[in-house]
């Protein structure tokens, strides 16, 4: 689903640059988006391993998460 959302975002940006309303390009039917995502384990065997792994996960994928949030609202 990520590549399709990127394509839609690109087409909407092109519409806006051409002077058209980008909100005119929206899916007609609502869909649930599923993203297959595996988690890396960088730290293990310590009491703070979960916290440290989550910090690294969000650091590595912050842009992806922001984009998905934007797509949900757009």
- Tens digit of pLDDT at every position of the chain (74 positions): 778 888 988 999 999 999 999 988 887 887 777 777 777 899 999 999 999 999 999 888 888 888 888 888 77
**Angstrom distance (rounded) from CA 25 to CA 7:** 11
Between helix 2-17 and helix 49-73 the angle, nearest 10°, is 50
Place of tokens 């890396």: 40
Decide if 64 contacts 3 (C-beta within 8 A): no
DSSP state of 46: S
Number of domains in the chain: 1
pLDDT at 28: 82
Range of the domain at 54: 2-73
């Amino acid at each position: 689903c990520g590549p399709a959302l990127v394509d839609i975002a690109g087409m909407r940006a092109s519409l806006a640059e051409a002077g058209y309303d980008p909100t005119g390009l929206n899916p007609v039917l609502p869909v649930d988006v599923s993203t297959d995502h595996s988690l890396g384990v960088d730290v293990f065997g310590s009491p703070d391993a979960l916290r440290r792994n989550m910090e690294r996960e969000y650091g590595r994928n912050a842009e992806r998460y922001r984009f998905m949030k934007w797509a949900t609202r757009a």
